[in-house]
């Protein structure tokens, strides 16, 4: 039986493909206050602004491509049972070939009903006022906004709890509730933290290894190491 690896990914891995990480040092998202474009209240106040904001993000997707880190994670599937828990709303993991993903913050390429959050449909074009679900309700981006529940968090926690190895890439682990996922890792499970400016120390968790590099610099070598280990044991 293959060992289980759960990978937690954040904005850093997508940034290396050219996707903006939204929030700058001033806390603004592309010049907007975060609560104007990523909250239910912001959508209620100015739905057109919010739809336009995510339309711009969606239009960017065909212009960017999976990088070496995304592709390295796909290679892991040959030797491990891999689950990727991502905070990213792009489709770069899927385009790199990864097959088992949990998008805890939603997906740009989906829309959902404003009336029933379980009515979720694929959506690749611009989303505008007047685009309705089958029941006649306005559609909104399938994005988890600030102040909203994170429906897939329990599924992500179980994946982390069941992992034999945990890899954390390109996330500060400061945004909750996603940041709490590391606490579900079983005691003694190897945890690899890949980030050029890590804000944790190896004393914070048992069996934590810090790789102070970007995803593209640090992940392929780790994947090679893990696959070689799996080959020797098979």
| 105 a catalytic residue | yes
Residue 120's CB is within 10 A of a number of other CB atoms, namely 16
Which residues are CB-neighbours of 113 under 8 A, at least 6 positions away?
A: 119, 133, 135, 137, 138, 139, 140
Catalytic residue among 70, 93, 105, 142: 105
Strand pairing class (32-33; 81-86)? unpaired
Residue pointed to by tokens 């069941």: 162
Q: Give, in degrees to the nearest 5, the angle at Cα 138 between 49 and 33.
A: 25
- Residue 58: strand pairing partners: none
Residues identified as active-site = 105
């Amino acid at each position: 039986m293959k060992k289980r690896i759960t990978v937690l990914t954040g904005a850093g891995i997508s940034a290396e493909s050219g996707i903006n990480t939204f929030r700058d040092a001033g806390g603004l998202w592309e010049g907007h206050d975060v609560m104007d474009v990523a909250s239910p209240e912001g959508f209620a106040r100015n739905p057109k602004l919010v739809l336009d904001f995510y339309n711009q993000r969606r239009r960017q997707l065909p212009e960017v491509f999976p990088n070496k880190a995304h592709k390295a994670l796909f290679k892991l599937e040959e030797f491990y049972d891999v689950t990727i828990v991502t905070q990213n709303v792009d489709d770069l993991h899927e385009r790199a070939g990864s097959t088992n993903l949990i998008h805890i913050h939603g997906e740009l390429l989906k829309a959902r009903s404003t009336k029933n959050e379980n009515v979720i449909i694929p959506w690749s074009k611009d989303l505008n006022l007047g685009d309705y679900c089958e029941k006649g309700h306005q559609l909104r981006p399938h994005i988890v906004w600030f102040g909203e529940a994170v429906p897939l968090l329990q599924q992500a926690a179980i994946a982390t709890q069941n992992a034999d190895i945990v890899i954390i890439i390109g996330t500060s682990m400061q945004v909750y509730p996603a940041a709490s996922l590391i606490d579900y890792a079983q005691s003694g499970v190897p945890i690899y933290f890949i980030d050029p400016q890590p804000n944790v120390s190896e004393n914070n968790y048992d069996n934590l290894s810090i790789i102070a590099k970007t995803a593209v610099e640090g992940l392929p070598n780790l994947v090679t190491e893990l696959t070689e280990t799996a080959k020797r044991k098979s």
